[in-house]
């Protein structure tokens, strides 16, 4: 039985040089092209990193628990009354907020706030907020969605140097500090 070390993660990642993508296949390093599942996983990873994915997952799980906990046969729901229907409606609203967070990351503040409010409102409306589990997951996911920030793009060094060079020119307060009064 022989073992070989797996390739370094950097060897599998494509590199970017002057706006063009250079893959290991194109450089002739002998690396095999990626299989379809590996390409799908890589593209999913790129998509996931542009959204508050984990927040949406927690929100959806909380909504699922709140929605399905009061599920019972229709006759039993009619006996329970508004409480059973309100619990299911709250779960649907929370799961819709999870989809909104994934589909429109720019609306994450609104969707996260609504998920937290609906999760807390499920406490009196739906079996103690899905026996506390659904409420806790919804509040956790809503807080994560509210606090998520997209990755900042890399700064362009050329523009930064020009901006600093213009700050020290005449007319700026820094250059007038040692002048005449």
Q: CA 172, 174, 179 angle in degrees (round to 5)?
A: 90
pLDDT tens for residues 70-83? 766 666 655 666 66
pLDDT tens-digit series, residues 48-58: 888 999 999 99
Q: CB of 123 within 8 A of CB of 129?
A: yes
Contact call for residues 126 and 66 (beta carbons, < 8 A)? yes
Distance CA 83, CA 124 (A): 9
Q: Residue 57 CB: number of other CB atoms within 10 A?
A: 16
Q: What percent of the chain stands above pLDDT 70?
A: 59
């Amino acid at each position: 039985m022989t073992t070989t070390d797996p390739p370094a993660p950097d060897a599998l990642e494509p590199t970017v040089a002057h706006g063009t993508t250079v893959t290991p296949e194109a450089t002739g390093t002998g690396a095999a092209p990626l299989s379809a599942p590996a390409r799908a996983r890589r593209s999913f990873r790129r998509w996931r990193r542009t959204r508050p994915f984990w927040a949406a997952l927690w929100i959806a799980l909380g909504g699922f628990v709140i929605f399905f906990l009061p599920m019972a046969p229709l006759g039993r729901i009619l006996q329970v009354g508004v409480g059973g229907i309100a619990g299911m409606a709250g779960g649907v609203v929370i799961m819709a907020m999870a989809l909104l967070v994934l589909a429109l990351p720019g609306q994450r503040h609104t969707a996260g706030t609504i998920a937290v409010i609906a999760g807390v409102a499920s406490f009196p409306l739906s079996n103690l907020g899905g026996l506390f589990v659904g409420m806790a997951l919804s509040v956790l996911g809503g807080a994560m969605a509210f606090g998520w920030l997209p990755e900042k793009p890399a700064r362009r060094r050329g523009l930064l140097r020009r901006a600093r060079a213009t700050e020290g020119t005449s007319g700026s307060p820094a250059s007038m500090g040692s002048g005449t009064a």
